[in-house]
Amino acid sequence: MLNFITWTANPNLFDGFITVRWYGLMFAIGFLVGYEIMSRIFKHEGAPEKWVGSLFFYVVIATIVGARLGHVFFYEWDHYKHNLIDIVKVWEGGLASHGGTLGIILAMIAYSRFVVKKPLLWTLDRLAVPIGLVAALIRMGNLFNHEIYGGPTSLPWGFRFIDNVGAFMHGAEPIFTVPCHPTQLYEATCYLVTFAVCMWLYWKRNAQEREGLILGVFMLGIFGSRFLVEYVKNVQVEWEIAMRSTWGVDQGQLLSIPFILLGLWLVIRAMRRPRVPINFPNKFADDKK
């Protein structure tokens, strides 16, 4: 048996007049499946169908803008402050999940106030249900991009990634890394488990009757696993090496701590409060009889 896996996937699914990348496809599938799940949730609770389309718009814009600005300010501000035009060059890479999360929270404040006119936690409890799946699919896109992988490992599931992936996509022979932790798969697995738990909580346990519980479980599952996986993941930018040496954590772990604490507080708060029964008419509010 081989004690490693040689990963030779091309980041491009299709090359032609229009180039389709695996990363973009995973992103799109995640949002489309998420849209369907939210549609079923809103129908289950008798919300207007038009809320789903508005939510999709808010989330897509907030995710892309938030994730981009998160990368700019959390990781490479020293570069972008001298090259402001580069901030809009999303196609060159550079998205941060913590920034995306903050962007979604800010967008949901506006969405909750102006669209659904309900408390923020009402929206976030329901939105948290599909996001774990979206996050897992995005990590699969990272796998196809040969990026965000871990340090060297002798474990039999170590991956040899293409180190010169840009040149490889233009016809060069691949140069492989040593076997490394496939941290994209580690995170994707944890995110899928979080997604499954949130689905179970919503559909089988009616956990939405405890305000903040599903969101809290989501925060603990996503950012708790992110914190742990970072220990075997390569840093995103060089200055994090000194940060790890000095503080024992990198930027991704530091940014995860507030979300973990928020998740813990939300779970404790939700379990200390009584359930608030919800009526489930299983049809959109504007459906005609």
pLDDT in tens, the chain (289 residues): 568 999 999 999 988 778 899 999 999 999 999 999 999 999 999 999 999 999 999 999 999 999 999 999 999 999 999 999 999 988 778 899 999 999 999 999 999 999 999 999 999 999 999 999 999 999 999 999 999 999 999 999 999 999 999 999 988 999 999 999 999 999 999 999 999 999 999 999 999 999 999 999 999 999 999 999 999 999 999 999 999 999 999 999 999 999 999 999 999 999 999 999 999 999 999 755 4
Interatomic CA distance for residues 63 and 45, integer angstroms: 25
Task: Note the pLDDT of residue 287.
Answer: 58
- Yes or no: say if 102 and 161 are a contact pair by the CB < 8 Å rule: no
Interatomic CA distance for residues 96 and 109, integer angstroms: 20
Residues 107, 76, 146, 134, Cα dihedral to 10°:
-10
Interatomic CA distance for residues 6 and 161, integer angstroms: 7
Q: Around 4, how many Cα atoms within 13 Å sit in the side-chain half-sphere?
A: 17
Radius of gyration of the chain (CA): 20
Q: Which residue has the tokens 């932790």?
A: 181
Task: Note the pLDDT of residue 289.
Answer: 44
Q: Which residue has the tokens 């920034």?
A: 99
Task: Note the pLDDT of residue 60.
Answer: 95
Interatomic CA distance for residues 216 and 162, integer angstroms: 37
Find all residues with CB under 8 Å of 124, minimum gap 6, and list them: 105, 108, 215
- Yes or no: say if 270 and 213 are a contact pair by the CB < 8 Å rule: yes
